[in-house]
Amino acid sequence: MDGDAPGPPRRQFGEEGGLLSYGGYLRLPELLAQQRPQSQAPDELLFITIHQVYELWFKLLLHELEGAREAMFAGELWQARHLFRRVHAVERVLIEQVEVLETMTPQDFMAFRANLAPASGFQSVQFRELEFLSGLRDERYLGSFRHISEEELARLRRRLAEPTLWDAYLTALSRRGLPVSDKEIMSSLLAVARNRGSYDDLWQLAEDLLTHDETAALWRMRHVQMVERQIGTKSGTGGSTGAPYLRGRTRLHYFPLLWELRAWL
Ligand code: HEM
Ligand SMILES: N[C@@H](CC(=O)c1ccccc1NC=O)C(=O)O
What integer is the mean pLDDT of 89-116?
98
Contact yes or no for 88/212 (Cβ under 8 A): yes
Residue nearest to atom 1 of ligand 1 (CA): 230
Residue 7: pLDDT over 90: no
Instruction: Answer yes or no: is the C-beta of 121 below 6 A from any ligand 2 atom.
Output: yes
67 Cβ closer than 6 Å to some ligand 2 atom: no
Q: Whose CA is nearest to atom 38 of ligand 1?
A: 122
**pLDDT at residue 139 in the model:** 87
Look at residue 47 and give its three-state secondary structure. helix
Range of weakest confidence among 67-71, 142-146, 223-227: 142-146
CA distances to 17, 106, 213 from 88, in Å: 40, 30, 10
What residue type is assigned to position 127 of the chain?
F
pLDDT digit string, tens, across residues 20-58: 999 999 999 999 999 999 999 999 999 999 999 999 999
Does 250 carry a binding-site annotation? no
Architecture of domain 42-113+122-264: Up-down Bundle (1.20)
**Beta-carbon-side half-sphere exposure of residue 121 (alpha carbons within 13 Å):** 18
The pLDDT of residue 15? 64
Q: Where are the domains of the chain?
A: 42-113+122-264
CA dist 45 and 113 (Å) reads 13
**Which residue puts its alpha carbon closest to atom 22 of ligand 1?**
227
ipTM of this model? Answer: 0.98
